Structure 1
């Protein structure tokens, strides 16, 4: 049986009701946070498009249609096709899925995981790629860019020079597509996504 002294030790020193919760915390309101590390000339062009409410229209002109990959099976097949074309020697993928739990607000579009499991004397490696479900309704080149990014992590774990060279090898205009994806994230953050 707990004593009164023990109960006092367990009681929080701060009123829990007075602490801020997720509703009270304001998200980062700077829509340009996604391109903060780009050259000032690029940031100025994006600001001009934002000021004139033309950023979504700019993306829609460049990418008028969304892809038709809606199921996890279709996503797995699409990813496997890219992997077979460029990364035949890497470990196999066990799973590629759209994941509802990945939030675009945390600047995560996809996740890769590498899990070793021991079964008796054997060690089995398991590679998984999870793509944000929000990416079900974007243009195919932007989806491919995210998949290429996650596939590159099968060979290069860090975002180093070799990683980006591999991404460019799999998708020659990778850097432009990455910028366009960031522009789409800006549109999302201000509630003006064209897709």
Structure 2
């Protein structure tokens, strides 16, 4: 089961089911049937608007975003699907922090649910730095099916890689 690197930490029974789908060549079809809607976002302007709309709906008091971009190197170089950063600069006598979200470019071709999952994940990091209970509670506030979507995103990545 070394081909299941995105699914480490899940129950062995669940991994066996995924491995069976893989062996039968049905994993990609399974994910495509569950998530048929393509991503509505094709460029960085649409991505910025999409993420800001989520932020304004669920996290009105969170700090503003300076930049939201697709990063073609992200998945390969950092082994991450999205990142959030705060770039600090001195302006006058004050320290200003500009927050950026970078999302792996492979989400241009991902199903819409998976782009939303990554956007929700990175937005949650604006309030909660660690992956703890509060972080996942915030993710579920923005996307009630977050745990299921995160698992199926991992299935999609597995099928895509193989």
Q: TM-score range by the shorter chain?
A: over 0.9
Q: Which residue of 2 aligns with 1:10?
A: none
TM-score for the superposition, normalised by structure 2: 0.95
Q: Which residue of 2 aligns with 1:119?
A: 91
In the alignment, the residues of structure 2 paired with residue 175 and residue 105 of structure 1 have an alpha-carbon distance, to the nearest angstrom, of 26
Q: How does 1:1-195 map to 2 (within 5 A)?
A: 30-103=2-75, 107-190=79-162
Larger CA Rg, structure 1 vs 2: 1
In the alignment, the residues of structure 1 paired with residue 77 and residue 21 of structure 2 have an alpha-carbon distance, to the nearest angstrom, of 21
Deviation for aligned residue 1:41: 1.6
8 Å contact kept, 2:39–2:107: no
Structure 2 CA distance for partners of 1:78 and 1:155, relative to 1, 3 Å:
same
In the alignment, the residues of structure 2 paired with residue 31 and residue 105 of structure 1 have an alpha-carbon distance, to the nearest angstrom, of 19
In the alignment, the residues of structure 2 paired with residue 70 and residue 160 of structure 1 have an alpha-carbon distance, to the nearest angstrom, of 32
TM-score for the superposition, normalised by structure 1: 0.80
Note the residue ranges of structure 2 that are not aligned, 5 or more in a row. Answer: none
8 Å contact kept, 2:85–2:99: yes
Report the RMSD for the aligned CA atoms in angstroms: 1.4
In the alignment, the residues of structure 2 paired with residue 104 and residue 35 of structure 1 have an alpha-carbon distance, to the nearest angstrom, of 18
In the alignment, the residues of structure 1 paired with residue 155 and residue 77 of structure 2 have an alpha-carbon distance, to the nearest angstrom, of 14
Note the residue ranges of structure 1 that are not aligned, 5 or more in a row. Answer: 1-28, 191-195
